A and B are shown apart, each in its own frame.
Chain A
Amino acid sequence: MIRAALALVSASILAYEVLLIRLFSIVQWHHFTYMVISIALLGFGASGTFLALTRDWLLPRFAAAFAVSAALFGLTAFLGYVAGQSLPFNAPALIWEPRQLLFLLGLYVIFLVPFFFGATCIGLSFLHYRGRIGRIYAVNLIGSAAGSIGIVALLFLLDPVPALMLVASLALLGALLAVPRIEGSRSRGFAATLCLGILAVVLAMPSTWSDPHPSPYKALPRALEVPGTHVVDTHSNPLGYLSVIESREVPLRHAPGLSLNNTQSPPAQLGIFTDADALSVITAFDGDLAPLAYLDFTTSALPYHLLNGPSVLVVGAGGGAPVLQAIYHEATTVDALEVNPDLISLMRDHHRDFAGGLYDRPEVQAHAREVRSFLAQSDERWDLIQLSLLDGGSGGGGSLGENHLFTVEAFQDYVRHLRPGGLVAITGWVQLPPRESLKLFATALEALRREGVTEPARRLALIRGWSTATLLIKNSNITTSDSGDIRGFAEARSFDIAFLDDVKAEEVNRFNRMAEPFLYQGAVALAGEGAAEFMARYKFDIAPAGDDRPYFHDFFKWRSLPEFLERSARAAGFLEWGYPILAATLIQALPLSLILILLPLWLWHQRGVGGDGKVRNFLYFAALGLGFLFIEIAFIQRFILFLGNPLYAAAVVITGFLFFAGLGSALSTRMGAQTPDDARPAPLATRRSAVVLSTSLIAAMSVAYLFALPMVFERLIILSELARIAVSLILIAPLAFCMGLPFPLGLAELSEARPRLVPWAWGLNGCASVMGAVLAQVLAIHFGLNAVVLVAALVYILAAVAFSWPATSSRPAT
């Protein structure tokens, strides 16, 4: 029964982590969500510290402690969310208002509590079943695997809040399963009443408290302040929470970057907000093209003036605006890619009449696909591939900043899928100082060079309006006729040329004047021989992103930090949040982890208890926590392109690693991770051999996969989705299986020699996992994903060395 309870609690913890990220991405901004939940996961470390200090008192009361912890996990998981969103934390004000730091601290504490109670259930089980650690760890991992895949499936069926109720209820069911093991009928009665009482509280929570309340500074709540504006429709899946709004009194009129020469108002629109932000629109369409004439007055309309009746591939179709633009310009076929299937069903089903059946027109094909895997499986070629960096539709960028749409390899894919004379067009915001446009330009140059083009600059054109810029990449040289068309298009709309191979300095800063034509100067520098030096000296990181470092939106340079700090809050708008938040998470997690790890050691030292071998054990368990997360995170990223969707990649890889590691852990009992009380302890030599063998295999396999995976993926990407998921699991299985061995083997040894250190090692592993997840991102940004895997291999070798270290004392500690 306890094992079933442990499996339920393990599944609930993992599901809760995913849910919390989902819910708080609606309420807050996702970078902050990531930071808050990373720190909150230190609840695992805090639980280890707590158990290390209270072990003697809790162990005789195991079942009661387990049941109460599981019940409190269920309660605080739900109440934590309700309390967390009621705190007036306002992330954008963090730079101005010191009190926001207090609210942030409040969020850390509120969310740390449920993870603390959940982890306590697992840690207690390790302590109680000290002779069966392998099996207990297996139950924990396989339960977590079920939670990981289960929550993704559940989020397709339920909104996040009911899903949270269900997850909290599962934890309470876990608590109830432990109740029969409690000694004393009164205690059992009390525990059962507590669980049922908490369940009643969770289920009876009024929806006004539990519904997500987005920050008033996010775009959706601000739009809803406009009279006559209301939400007509919501759709939720693991990719995002969509709110469709209608504004009867004040029409939406969303058309980013429209030329000032345009005189037409956009037709009626419905707004679609993803996670209460990122507006995309469905535009009313009845088949009449005349009301769409305004779509010819954006910079993204440029490629249509160089092509006749093109076949178009739209990447990130959102509410269909780029598809309408293609139809307005007489595209013969339009393939519209949109990663979020709910956005497609909005167009096809819920608002089909409003959208004029846009996605059911004979020339339009909508695909719920990510572009890279779509192209890898397609021999088709297009005249135009349209991409956009403006908010709205999702082409497949992941939530933690990885983005495989704007890498050098992606651009090579796009160019290879063009018909002769075809164009890739990418539209983004005009930024001052320029960042995105210059990085796109540098990426295009590098991609063309890799395709063997000797004069890549001759294939590029860049124009800018007052708020958007569009880059064209042609798969042959831009002709004089093309240049004439580009100039004519720009002149008629008061757009400026920012780059053409034959551009003249006097035509780059005419209509939309900057103090200097920064974009032109940057593009010319990038196209010239001093490009490397220019990129090195530029204050933002504009070097092209690659599939190995797919962080297009990371513009941060440490060298520029003093200048940002000097300008303090005023310059905050120029800081893309991703990297600084990651660094802030690391800076906070490191000392907190160290405190949690060192506190029990210090207290034991004060009391004169404990034992030696702490350095060895510290290195061993820290290495395992770091290594596991390094490999898991690198593999999620690696599998995104193969599985064709960041969500599937995360779900399949995490589930695969947890499940097969669970099987490994179960098998570890035969290698010395199980020492039934009535049997002789397994020989140390067997255990050491098993650890050295498994860690060596992990190091060898992970490095081998670096070379093998690209080849396997290239050959097998043509398979169906299900077959690719199966292949992924088969590839992950042997590596994950080995990764399930070292932790229970080490813990089994510890439980014999130094049982006091077992919860400490468990907590240490938890802290190392948090650090591992954050460090893996930092390493990937700076050195690439391959480097993360290489470091992981080294870390596992370090674990083997640490484990082989002779313990300085053979006496059993207390």
Chain B
Amino acid sequence: MPRLLLLSTAILMFALACPLTAQARDDFAAKRQRMIEVIERYAWSLEAELGARQMDARVLEVMGALPRHLFVPEDRRGEAYADRPVPIGYGQTISQPLIVAFMTHLLELEPDDVVLELGTGSGYQAGVLAELVHKVCSIEIVPGLGERAADVLDDLSLDNVETRIGDGYYGWPECGPFDAIIVTAAAGHIPPPLVAQLKPGGKMIIPVGSPYVTQQLVLIDKLADGRVTTRQVLAVRFVPLVREAR
């Protein structure tokens, strides 16, 4: 009798939970759509920085499908699609969606590219990259973060992401050379081994700022002859400051 009661309760709860889960799924999908609309709306004003009138459609398509809330601690999932960074513990945040889109766009990725990420963090950026390129190798220095991100990426069956816990200074030569590198854990300077592991013609991007506010992006181009140039890019449109005075 108690077993029967238990079973019927379980069936009842499952029946009730199914529509709830579906409801939550729809909620997140709607929030995700709004997130993409916010990015698109903002992108028009960044034409000079983007080098185009619009954000790369593939980037938006991937971000519109990837469940960002799964990369955020459970108690913060309601905020996952807001246009702002969200704390993920260890003094880190999951980057603002616009910054993720902007950085990914600037890397001009191709489907057969191999990308290195330094600072896996929540794993969300790696997840976005995984849907766009052939292979992503991501290194995280904080074990708690790296392990959690690896689990989420596994759960999503993003099999083309390899993760590792450790020091990213020497890059990941076995995984490279790389068409693109994202360095979200820059320590004041760009590690020389990373520049060496970047293919000629490749790009590296570094967000500069606090865990809450990305002040600017540094985009590094490795030229065909091995020399490198950098570009300073603002993620905020300012009415030009210097020009108007001329």
A452 at the interface (CB under 8 A from B): no
Quick check: B236 and A225 within 8 Å, CB to CB? no
A260 touches B220 (CB 8 A): yes
**A591, CB-defined interface residue at 8 Å:** no
Within 8 A of B (CB), among A508-534: 510-516, 518, 521-522, 525, 530, 533-534
Cβ contacts A223-255/B at 8 Å (1 or 0 each): 001110000000000000000000001111111
Task: Give the nearest-CB partner of A90 in chain B.
Answer: B87
CA distance A614 to B3 in the complex (A): 80
Contact indicator B212/A510 (Cβ below 8 Å): no
Q: A217-B91, A249-B167, A516-B240 are in contact. Are A511 and B141 (CB under 8 A)?
A: no
Is the CB–CB distance between A572 and B213 below 8 Å?
A: yes
User: Given contacts A494-B229, A512-B230, A533-B245, is CB(A254)–CB(B188) below 8 Å?
Assistant: yes
- Which residues of B218-241 are within 8 A (CB) of A? 218, 220, 227-241
| Cross-interface CB contact of A217 among B141, B211, B240, cutoff 8 Å | B211
The A-contacting residues of B in range 125-163, CB under 8 angstroms, are 141-144
Given known contacts A96-B212, A260-B230, is B189 in contact with A574 (CB within 8 Å)?
no
Q: How far is the CA of A264 from the CA of B220 in the complex (A)?
A: 19
Q: Which residues of A contact B82 (CB under 8 A)?
A: 96
Contact present for B215 and A430 (CB under 8 Å):
no
Q: Is B239 a contact of A563 with CB atoms below 8 Å? A: yes
Query: With A466-B218, A522-B242, A567-B237 known to touch, is A514 a contact of B232 (CB < 8 Å)?
Result: yes
Which of A90, A92, A252, A432 is in CB contact (< 8 Å) with B187? Answer: A252
Q: How far is the CB of B58 from chain A (nearest CB, A)?
A: 24
Report chain A residues within 8 Å CB of B48. 515
Interface residues on B, range: 35 or more
CB of A433 within 8 A of CB of B241, answer yes
Give chain A nearest CB distance to B75 CB in angstroms.
Answer: 12
Contacts of B91 in A (CB 8 A): 216-218, 221-222, 225
Instruction: State whether A260 and B231 are in contact (beta carbons under 8 Å apart), knowing that A221-B91, A572-B213 are contacts in the complex.
Output: no
Docked pose: A280 CA to B208 CA in angstroms: 18
Q: Does A480 contact B (CB under 8 A)?
A: no
Give the nearest-CB partner of B99 in chain A: A570
Chain A contacts for B189, CB-based, 8 A: 253, 255-258, 262, 467
Known A494-B229, A512-B230; contact A92-B246, beta-carbon cutoff 8 A: no
List of B residues within 8 angstroms of A809 by Cβ = none
A255:B240 contact, CB within 8 angstroms: no
Given A260-B190, A466-B218, A525-B143 contact (CB < 8 Å): no
Given A256-B189, A538-B241, A514:B210 Cβ within 8 A = no
The residue in chain B whose Cβ has the minimal distance to the Cβ of A433 is: B241
| A521–B229 touching, CB < 8 Å | no
B84, CB-defined interface residue at 8 Å: yes
Q: How many angstroms between the C-alpha atoms of A563 and B45 in the bound complex?
A: 14
Bound state CA distance, A522 and B208, in angstroms? 22
B216 touches A432 (CB 8 A): yes
A537 CB-CB contact with B under 8 Å: yes
Of the candidates B49, B84, B236, B246, the one whose C-beta lies within 8 Å of that of A525 is B246
Selected from A92, A262, A467, A571, the residue in CB contact (under 8 A) with B210 is A92
Q: Is B85 an interface residue (CB 8 A)?
A: yes
* B74, CB-defined interface residue at 8 Å: no
Q: Is the CB of A530 within 8 A of B195?
A: no
Evaluate contact between B239 and A518: CB separation under 8 angstroms: no
Those of A412-438 within 8 Å (CB) of chain B? 430-434
Is A265 close to B, CB under 8 A? yes
Q: How far is the CA of A538 from the CA of B141 in the complex (A)?
A: 41
Residues 590 to 645 of chain A near chain B (Cβ within 8 Å): none
> Please, how many angstroms separate the alpha-carbon atoms of A122 and B144 in the complex?
52
Please judge, given known A-B contacts A92-B211, A430-B232, whether A257 and B192 are in contact too, CB under 8 Å: no
A93 in contact (CB, < 8 A): yes
Per-residue contact bits, chain B 172-200, to A (CB 8 Å; 1 contact, 0 not): 00000000000000011111100100000
With a cutoff of 8 Å between Cβ atoms, the chain A residues found around residue B246 in the complex are 521, 525
Residues of A within 8 A of B141 (CB): 225-227, 250
Task: Provide the bound-state CA to CA distance between A778 and B189, in Å.
Answer: 37
A695 to B90 CA separation, bound complex (whole angstroms): 56
**A516–B242 CB distance below 8 A:** yes
Q: CB within 8 A of A516: which of B192, B195, B243?
A: B243
Minimum CB–CB distance for A668 against chain B, Å? 52
Q: Given A218, A258, A513, A539, which contacts B231 in the complex, CB threshold below 8 Å?
A: A513
B187 adjacent to A467 (CB under 8 Å): no
Asked if A184 lies at the interface with its beta carbon under 8 angstroms from chain B, I say no
Chain B residues near A716: list those with CB within 8 A. Answer: none
Bound together, the chains give a CA A303 to CA B103 distance in angstroms of 36
**CB of B214 within 8 Å of the partner chain:** yes
- Complex: chain A residue closest to B190, CB-CB: A260
Determine if A574 and B167 form an interchain contact, defined as CB atoms under 8 angstroms apart.
no
Indicate if B28 sits at the interface (CB-CB under 8 A). no
Q: Which of B77-118 contact A (CB under 8 A)?
A: 82, 84-85, 87, 89-92, 98
Q: Is the CB of A530 within 8 A of B190?
A: no
13 interchain pairs, CB-CB under 8 A: A222-B92, A249-B167, A258-B188, A258-B190, A260-B230, A261-B228, A262-B189, A433-B242, A494-B229, A512-B231, A512-B232, A514-B232, A516-B242
- 7 additional A-B pairs beyond A222-B91, A513-B230, A516-B240, beta carbons within 8 Å, are A222-B211, A433-B242, A522-B242, A538-B241, A570-B98, A573-B210, A573-B214
The 10 lowest CB-CB distance pairs between A and B, nearest first, are A258-B189, A573-B213, A573-B215, A216-B91, A222-B91, A92-B212, A256-B188, A466-B230, A521-B242, A96-B84
